[in-house]
Copies of this chain bind each other. A is one copy, B any other.
Amino acid sequence: MADIYRALADPTRRAVLDELHERDRQTLFELCGRLAVKHGVASSRQAISQHLGVLEEAGLVRVEREGRYRFHSIDTAPLRAITERWPARQGKDGPS
């Protein structure tokens, strides 16, 4: 499984996760349209496709193939690894 942190580094990929979080099982074309309209993302189909590849390798997006369609869904499970890697310690961090 590829690097989840690198996958989250790109703002377009975060917008993809935002959109998939609102609506599951979207195809590449669906995503392209909705990203452009609702998230102001002006990326080409190929660019979004490559972003989906990175997200899929990081385990953040799951894909179901049906005929000529690929339905994409978000998987938030890998995100837990982040807060588990640097857990908050009692009374050490809190805001000033």
The answer to whether the Cβ of A17 comes within 8 Å of any Cβ in the partner chain is: yes
Chain A interface residue number, banded: 20 to 34
The answer on a CB contact under 8 Å between A93 and B74 is yes
The answer to whether the Cβ of A34 comes within 8 Å of any Cβ in the partner chain is: no
Copies per complex of this chain: 2
Per the bound structure, the CA–CA distance linking A18 and B5 in Å amounts to 14
The answer to whether the Cβ of A91 comes within 8 Å of any Cβ in the partner chain is: no
- Minimum Cβ distance to chain B for residue A57 (Å): 15
The answer on a CB contact under 8 Å between B83 and A21 is no
List A10-36 residues whose CB lies under 8 Å from chain B: 11, 14, 17-18, 21, 24
- Minimum Cβ distance to chain B for residue A11 (Å): 8
Chain A positions 59 through 91: 1 when the CB is less than 8 Å from some CB of chain B, otherwise 0: 000000000000000111101101101111100
The answer to whether the Cβ of A9 comes within 8 Å of any Cβ in the partner chain is: yes
The answer to whether the Cβ of A38 comes within 8 Å of any Cβ in the partner chain is: no
